[in-house]
Amino acid sequence: MRNPWPWKLELRGTPSRSMTYLSPVLAVVLTMLLGALLFMALGKDPLAGLKVFLIDPFNGKRAISELLLKSVPLILCALGLAVCFRANIWNIGAEGQFTVGALFAGATLVAIDVPGHAIPGGLGLLLMIVAGILGGAFWASITAVLRDRFNANEILVSLMLTYVAQLLLMYAVNGPLKDPNGMNFPQSKVFSSEFMLPELISGTRLHIGFAVTLVLAIVMTVFMTRSFRGFSLIVGGTAPHAARYAGFSSRSALWISLLISGSFAGLAGAFEIAGPIGQLLPSVSPGYGFAAIIVAFIGRLHPVGAVLGGLVMSLLYLGGELAQSRLGLPSAITGVFQGMLLFLLLASDTLIDYRLRWKAKV
Amino acid sequence: MEQFASLIAASINAGTPLLLAALGLLINERAGVLNLGAEGMMLVAAIAGFAVGYATHSPMLGFIAGALSGMLMASLFSWLALMLATNQVATGLALSIFGTGLSAFIGQRFVGLALPSQTLSIPFLKDLPFVGPALFQQHWMSYLSLLLCAAIAWFIYRTRAGLILRAVGESPESAHALGYPVRWIRFAALLFGGACCGLAGAYLSLVYTPMWVEGLVSGHGWIALALTAFATWRPLRVLLGALLFGGVTILQFYLQGIGVTVPSQILSMLPYAATIVVLALISRNPDWIRLNMPASLGKPFKPNAS
């Protein structure tokens, strides 16, 4: 293809380390600039639009706690996906794993949270969380089995399972887990407050799960950079032949990464049930599992990066909600921004291997 | 008997968008490009087709709008995956995520509106017993997709251009060395794929449903991607697969209709579960898949830095 631009891309001798870290920043900045153009095209003041996305979510304790709250499921799912992508396992079913985690957790609470059953709040909470983790891991293990035993493409399988998971949740809230006093709405009962996660900052909705998420990010950093298992996993992803030569099993990489990813997504689902939502709804996730794919890439497939990426993505979600209430735009604008962000990140990443050179005039 | 005929007719109706999309993706993949953005392209085309069809009262214009928007989405993918040689899996996912968001954003004003349903009856043939109601009372797009299937089979196996397309997918380096513009050929293939996915998306919102709800495509794009693998990248097998999956999709409504006491949500899982099962069965033998898959599928081609 002939290059129509006044510049050209020149292959660098070695990939640029600084661009690896600058590229996500560049992508975020470009997304905001394109976003401003989008606001203009929609006949809105671009500065007011950007303020809604960049400044309002930081406006006060309540706003910031909401920002951190929303980042929890995004970071958790992205932590797991980063491991998968590092191991070259294209698990894109975190959304389904999240859904099943929430379903298992919700079902546990429906079973426990009945008058007369004397299960203390702390124990119930623990059971609920374990159920969520097991649910997510179970759902991911289906993908692992089919990939391992039948060589089935994990992208398509994990995605199809997401649709199945959503239908399963729909079935549950319309059937066995439906609130008998819920005026026929497809939802479970509202769980008692004793089974809700304790709040981290009093007077806000931010719960203890945020602290757990940060701890898990540290654990995953150690796992991926310091442990033998993490090392063999990453080698398997980047250089499969070398990994085979070193005797690292690709089967165990498949299983470990998918089980980690599923557990984290399931935990995120449980946290949503016992945190901000407090009951089981068909709409437990506004696409957290898919957004987490972007978070993982923005975070350079690194746990610390996932935390930062999760905060950026949380900003987009809140910005989208505010754009709806303050600017009268559909909240689906979040999805547009998400897609743009990933496109621009992929484009910016070109600068890791190439540098821009202005073409000499002929 | 009458019921069986209507079952076949409904399966063809449900299989048409799968066939259209999978044929487009087949051409992409034969050229060595894996575009996981099918779902996103179909969603954007579905809302574009619906919006234009609704505004102009012309389904034809709706289909054209769908095809054009699919091509626009595909060119976005092409710019990244071909010009910048980005990872095709990640870029395709980006296209799907973007398409999901964009279609929901545009579609907000169209939620709840509906179009009249439309079919075409072929004179004389439609009056044939059994065969008439089963086969000859479809939308014209269904017949067009059959023609397209035959045309693509002929193109791939019988024309020089088809041979070049396959060469690009099998060994872009050799094709490049022989002087063929690999990236332009891939670009053309992607545009064609985008147009097909666009028609498929428009079919869903103009004919199959016919209305707009968020996430209307509900996995048809992904199932179409799986279909190309089931069909081991052969057009006639794509046709068989699409009809089979159309049948599975219809089976859930049929089972509900005859009063099977299974919750509707469980029945709705059928197409997705069937995709998983067939995918597992067909992939069981890795050698067989490797033998049939275009050799450069999913690998970016960088002739030299430009």
Residue B62 confidence (pLDDT): 96
Q: Which residue of chain A comes nearest to B274, CA vs CA?
A: A160
B305: pLDDT strictly greater than 50: no
| Contact list, B91 vs chain A (CB under 8 Å) | 343, 346
Residue A91 φ/ψ region, left for φ over 0, alpha for ψ in the -120 to 50 degree band, beta for the rest: beta
Whether chain B has a CB inside 8 Å of the CB on A293: the answer is yes
Residue A212 confidence (pLDDT): 97
CA distances from B92 to B89, B248, B302 (A): 5, 27, 18
Output the domain CATH number for residue A292.
1.10.3470
| Contact list, A346 vs chain B (CB under 8 Å) | 80, 84, 86-87, 90-91, 94
Tell me whether residue B302 is in a domain: no
Share of chain B above pLDDT 70, in %: 98
The Cα A72–Cα A75 span in angstroms is 5
Contact call for residues A91 and A143 (beta carbons, < 8 A): yes
The count of structural domains within chain A is: 1
The count of structural domains within chain B is: 1
Q: Cα–chain-centroid distance for residue A158?
A: 15
The Cα B69–Cα A226 span in angstroms is 48
Query: Which of A180-194, B119-133, B186-200 reaches the highest mean pLDDT?
Result: B186-200
Residue A361 confidence (pLDDT): 58
**Which of A23, A147, A153 to mutate against chain B (most B CBs within 10 Å)?**
A153
pLDDT tier at B304, thresholds 50, 70, 90 = low
Tell me whether residue A285 is in a domain: yes
Tell me whether residue A16 is in a domain: no
Query: Which of A227-236, A250-259, B40-49, B120-129 reaches the highest mean pLDDT?
Result: B40-49
Residue A9 confidence (pLDDT): 80
Output the domain CATH number for residue B233.
1.10.3470
A15: pLDDT strictly greater than 60: yes
* pLDDT, greater one: A328 or B289: A328
Model confidence pLDDT, tens digit, residues B152-192? 999 999 999 999 999 999 999 999 999 999 999 999 999 99
Domain that holds residue B18: 1-112+133-291
- Mean pLDDT of the region A126-138: 97
Tell me whether residue B70 is in a domain: yes
Whether chain A has a CB inside 8 Å of the CB on B232: the answer is no
Nearest of B48, B44, B26 to residue B35 by alpha carbon: B26
Tell me whether residue B298 is in a domain: no
Tell me whether residue A336 is in a domain: yes
Q: Which residue of chain B comes nearest to A340, CA vs CA?
A: B98
CB contact (8 A) between residue B279 and residue A163: no
Residue A234 confidence (pLDDT): 85
B306: pLDDT strictly greater than 50: no
Tell me whether residue B224 is in a domain: yes
Residue A2 confidence (pLDDT): 63
How many A-B residue pairs are in contact by the CB < 8 A criterion? 157
Model confidence pLDDT, tens digit, residues B196-253? 999 999 999 999 988 999 989 999 999 999 999 989 999 999 999 999 999 999 988 8
Question: What is the reported pTM?
Answer: 0.94
Whether chain A has a CB inside 8 Å of the CB on B276: the answer is yes
| CA B47, B49, B50, B51 torsion-angle sign | positive
Tell me whether residue A103 is in a domain: yes
Q: Which residue of chain B comes nearest to A6, CA vs CA?
A: B306
DSSP calls for chain B: -HHHHHHHHHHHHHHHHHHHHHHHHHHHHHTT---TTHHHHHHHHHHHHHHHHHHHS-HHHHHHHHHHHHHHHHHHHHIIIIIS---HHHHHHHHHHHHHHHHHHHHGGGTT-B--------TTGGGSTTHHHHHSSS-HHHHHHHHHHHHHHHHHHHSHHHHHHHHHHH-HHHHHHTT--HHHHHHHHHHHHHHHHHHHHHHIIIIIS-B--TTTTTTHHHHHHHHHHHTTT-HHHHHHHHHHHHHHHHHHHHHHHTT--S-HHHHHTHHHHHHHHHHHHHHSSHHHHHHHS-TTTT----SS--
Q: Which residue of chain B comes nearest to A172, CA vs CA?
A: B265
The Cα A72–Cα A295 span in angstroms is 12
Model confidence pLDDT, tens digit, residues A340-352? 999 999 999 999 9
CA geometry: angle at A149 spanning A144 and A152, to 5°?
70
Model confidence pLDDT, tens digit, residues B86-101? 999 999 999 999 999 9
Domain that holds residue A237: 29-358
Whether chain A has a CB inside 8 Å of the CB on B184: the answer is yes
Share of chain A above pLDDT 70, in %: 98
CB contact (8 A) between residue A338 and residue B218: no
Tell me whether residue A246 is in a domain: yes
Residue A362 confidence (pLDDT): 53
B132: pLDDT strictly greater than 80: no
The Cα B136–Cα B134 span in angstroms is 6
The Cα B165–Cα B269 span in angstroms is 37
B 196-215 residues with CB below 8 A of A?
Answer: 214
Tell me whether residue A256 is in a domain: yes
Residue A1 confidence (pLDDT): 56
Tell me whether residue A201 is in a domain: yes
Residue B125 confidence (pLDDT): 77
Distance separating the N- and C-terminal Cα atoms of chain A: 20
CB contact (8 A) between residue B268 and residue A11: no
Tell me whether residue A189 is in a domain: yes
Identify the weakest region by mean pLDDT among B57-61, B166-170, B302-306.
B302-306
CB contact (8 A) between residue B273 and residue A151: no
Q: Does the complex come out with an ipTM higher than 0.85?
A: yes
Tell me whether residue B300 is in a domain: no
DSSP state, residue B208: I
